[in-house]
Amino acid sequence: MTSSKKRLQVDPQLCEAHALCVEIAPEVFVLNDDADVATCDEDPPEALLPDVKAAISGCPRQAISMVDRP
Ligand code: SF4
């Protein structure tokens, strides 16, 4: 990721497991074992940033975001 001060996250309260993000960036997003929420690599490689951005804007629940590390 471009900035190590940021991390990628999926809000489990918002995610409805449409799996659109998994289709867009399968290297970064996966559904959990129960397939009811997506999880992600919180620090994906920079080369995947375009896919990550596409997943962020494509998520119908706006559940994916970049947040500041504590
Ligand atoms: S696209 Fe959004 S709502 Fe759907 S699985 Fe991914 S994070 Fe969850």
All structural domains of the chain with their residue ranges: 6-68
Residues with C-beta less than 6 Å from any ligand 1 atom = 10, 15-21, 29, 38, 59, 61, 63-64
* In the block, residue with structure tokens 């490689």: 45
The CATH fold assigned to 6-68 is Alpha-Beta Plaits (3.30.70)
Write down the pTM of the prediction: 0.91
Distance 35 CA to ligand 1 centre (A): 11
pLDDT tier at 70 (50, 70, 90 boundaries)? confident
pLDDT tens for each residue of 5-61: 899 999 999 999 999 999 999 999 999 999 999 999 999 999 999 999 999 999 999
- Whether residue 20 contacts residue 31, with contact meaning beta carbons closer than 8 Å, is answered with no
- Whether residue 32 contacts residue 39, with contact meaning beta carbons closer than 8 Å, is answered with yes
Mutation to probe ligand 1, out of 8, 9, 10 (largest number of atoms < 8 A from CB) = 10
